[in-house]
Every structure is written in structure tokens, then in C-alpha cells.
Amino acid sequence: MSNLMVAQTIIEVLEQMALDGKVFTAYDVTIAARLVENVKASPENVMHDDVRGIVGNEFVTQQLAAYDREFCILDVNGNPEAFVYFPVGKSASDHPLVSNSAPAVSSVSTVSTPVSVPISTPVVDLDDDEVATTKEGRVQIPRKLTSQVTPNGGSFDVLINGTLKCASKDARGDVRVCLRQFNITDSKVKVTVDTANNTINVETVVSTT
């Protein structure tokens, strides 16, 4: 980045978003920084790639200590994927562009078009302790399991194939975890509770075939 002043603006905008406890993506920071720079007549100096790099670096170096992030599909044209940053007590799903529902299909035409429906929809066969994942690559942890553990600092300790992740309840009181960042793309996972260690364990299901 050629302009250190612009970099400082980006960091200040990011810090303010963190102070306000906002749920955001790097693009949200880009838009906000451009608004600030617009007052200075230099919005074109705020490049999104630079902002994404700064936000990612601030997170990795723990400058956003009270924040976690999830790689999510955004409910906009093209369904791009991006890291959604959220503070303790909130979740990625609190971002307005993150949704469990399929993206709305908009059409200029007012004529209704028949939608082809598969003759049969694949059904995920679940054994005990198994939970189906969503098409967005998330798993919703059953409340009967979250009720067996105690939140630590407002978030639950979730071990995903041995990797610790802190997950908070969303606005609906549910705990959902994005699995794609852990390279899990299965249709189901095994979810159990370790009450001795106060953790929720999410594991890939080992095929017996």
C-alpha cells in the first residue's frame, strides 16, 4: 500500500467496528473506509485487497482478541465466500448477508417458470450422535448437547476433529459452526459432549464400508 494514511484509516475503521461489537466482513470495512476517505477526496486509494490483508493480519496477530471468524457463503449475487468476523456473544449468522436459506432467485420476468424437482431427494441416514450438515457447510449443535456444558466467557469450547473453536449462540439461541474451514464437507458429522472437559466434540463420521 502506497499511502500510510489510508492504512491508518482502515485500522481506525476496523478498531471502531470492534469497539462497537459489529459483525462484519473485510468488504464492510472497505466500504466504511472509503466513506471516510471520500471526505478526504481519495476513496479510490482504499483497495479491497489491501483491506482484506490488513483485517486478516489484525485477526491473526490477535489484535481482534475478542473476535472469531467463520468462512461463510454470502447471500448476494454469485454467492461469494468470505470470512465473517464476529465478537463473543454473537455469531457469523448475525451478519445480514449470511443466511441458512437458499439465496433468493430474482427474475425480471413476471411469468412464473416451472421449477424442476428431483423425483427423490437424498436423505441423510443418521445414527445416534450424528447431525446432518447444511448445504452451507454448517452444523447446528442440538440444544440438548449445549445444555450439558457451560459457556466459557460467553462461548462454548468446540473441538472439531481435535481443533479448538469457540462458538457463541446466535440471535435465536442456537450454536452453529462452519465446518468448511476445517475441510469438512460431509453430509453429516458426529457430535458428542465431553462433560469432564466441558467441551462439545465434532468429528467426521468414519465410513464402515
| Predicted local distance difference test score (pLDDT) of residue 123 | 55
The pLDDT, as a whole number, for residue 149 is: 92
For residues 90 and 9, state if they share a domain: yes
Q: What is the pLDDT of residue 157?
A: 92
Is residue 200 a part of any domain in this protein?
A: yes
Assess if residue 69 is contained within a domain.
yes
Q: What is the pLDDT of residue 138?
A: 79
Query: Is residue 140 domain-resident?
Result: yes
DSSP structural state of residue 152: B
At 193 the pLDDT is 94
Grid cell, residue 181, equals 474451514
Structural domain tally of the chain? 2
Low-confidence ranges of the chain (pLDDT < 50): 1-2, 101-122
Cell of 32: 466504511
Helix (H) or strand (E) holding 83: strand 81-87
Q: Which residue has the cell 416451472?
A: 114
Ramachandran bin of 153, using left for φ above 0, alpha for ψ from -120 to 50, beta for the remaining angles? left
Q: Domain residues for 19?
A: 4-94
The domain boundary, picked from 39, 66, 94, lies at 94
Compute CA distances 182 → 163, 166, 176, 204, whole Å. 9, 14, 14, 11
Which one, of 191, 91, 92, 184, lies nearest residue 144 by Cα? 191
What integer pLDDT is reported at residue 207 of this predicted model? Answer: 65
Query: Which residue from 57, 65, 54, 58 is spatially nearest to 7, judged by alpha carbons?
Result: 54
**Tell me, what's the pLDDT at 168?**
82
Predicted confidence at residue 29, as pLDDT, reads 94
163-167 and 175-178: which strand pairing? unpaired
Same domain flag for 90 and 134: no
